[in-house]
Structure 1
Amino acid sequence: MEDRQDVQTLPIPVPVVFPETEPFWRNARKGKLLLPFCRHCEKPVWYPKAFCNACGHFELDWREASGFGEIYSFTDVMKGEGAYRDTLGYSLALIDLDEGVRMLSNLVDYSRETLRIGQRVKVVFHNGSDDTALPRFTPA
């Protein structure tokens, strides 16, 4: 199987931005991966919301993440939906970030033959034409 999609061929759909996710998307446009952390228990919160998953507190601080993690699982998508309808053969992965949260994202710029569970990856940002940037992951 050949290499998968790169920045030139994957679509960059416009995210729906809510008040709880605005800091994430604003910083993604700057090439920064930020996560909310609970002020009470210090645990990261993912997907961004108004309260901590672990302890229920509502006081969260946004901190820059390392941008590194490892592949927990991945799949090849051969027939996409929505913005990806015309994109053939791209990969989605669950990424365990070093900070302790699991994020769903695309894998880009890699060789399918060497891709494996547990492989180290790093974030890259792909900019859209409408001031949007999406975090995607590539081998570290």
Structure 2
Amino acid sequence: MTTEPKPVPIPTPLTAPFWAAAQRHEIALQRCGECSAAIGYPRLNCPNCGGRDLDWFTATGRGRVWSYVVVERADPTFAPDVPYVLAVIELDEGPRLLSIVVDVVAAYDMGLLDLAVRASFETRGAQQVPIFVPIGEGA
């Protein structure tokens, strides 16, 4: 059986700064100039106050597992990775991102909730895609 390559994100004008940062192995977020809210995925308006004065900044790339599922059946492109952990990561800056957590034993209990993680990156084609790995409490 031939495995197809995983999908490669295609940056748009709105998402280009996020993907350019990923190429540098960084997580970029937007910040509202009116209310200072950090914004988790690229938008034209602040979801907190509606402001349009949004700038990009480099986040720490650290956070905690807020929620997760263990994927046991997947599309053929992701089947070689099964089982894997798909998680909502709450970044230190506040926004939440959906990503994969690697280097963890697929847990069937609540053992991964609140796990400290940091961004790492997976190469897909010519693009870097953020994934997360566990970190020690002192890291």
- Structure 1 and Structure 2 fold alike (TM over 0.5): yes
Quote the Cα distance in structure 1 between the aligned partners of 2:134 and 2:6: 20
Moved over 6 A (4+): none
2:118 corresponding residue in structure 1: 122
Quote the Cα distance in structure 2 between the aligned partners of 1:93 and 1:87: 15
Q: Residue 87 of structure 1: CA displacement?
A: 3.7
SS for the counterpart of 1:58 is coil
Deviations 1:73-108 (A, max 9, x none): 111111112632554211100110000001100011
Q: Residue 31 of structure 1: CA displacement?
A: 0.6
1:137 corresponding residue in structure 2: 132
Look up the equivalent residue of 2:116 and give its one-letter code. R
For the Cα contact (< 8 Å) 1:12–1:133, is it kept in 2? no
Inter-CA distance 22–111: structure 2 relative to 1 (3 Å threshold): same
Quote the Cα distance in structure 2 between the aligned partners of 1:102 and 1:136: 13
Tell me how many residue pairs correspond in the alignment: 129
For the Cα contact (< 8 Å) 1:29–1:127, is it kept in 2? no
For the Cα contact (< 8 Å) 1:122–1:139, is it kept in 2? yes
Greater relative CO (CA pairs within 8 A, separation 6+) = 1
For the Cα contact (< 8 Å) 1:40–1:59, is it kept in 2? yes
Quote the Cα distance in structure 2 between the aligned partners of 1:63 and 1:82: 36
- Structure 1 spans left out of the alignment, 5+ residues: 1-10
Over the matched positions of the two proteins, sequence identity in percent amounts to 34
1:94 corresponding residue in structure 2: 88
- Structure 2 spans left out of the alignment, 5+ residues: none
Look up the equivalent residue of 1:117 and give its one-letter code. L
- Provide TM-score, normalisation by structure 2: 0.84
SS for the counterpart of 2:21 is helix
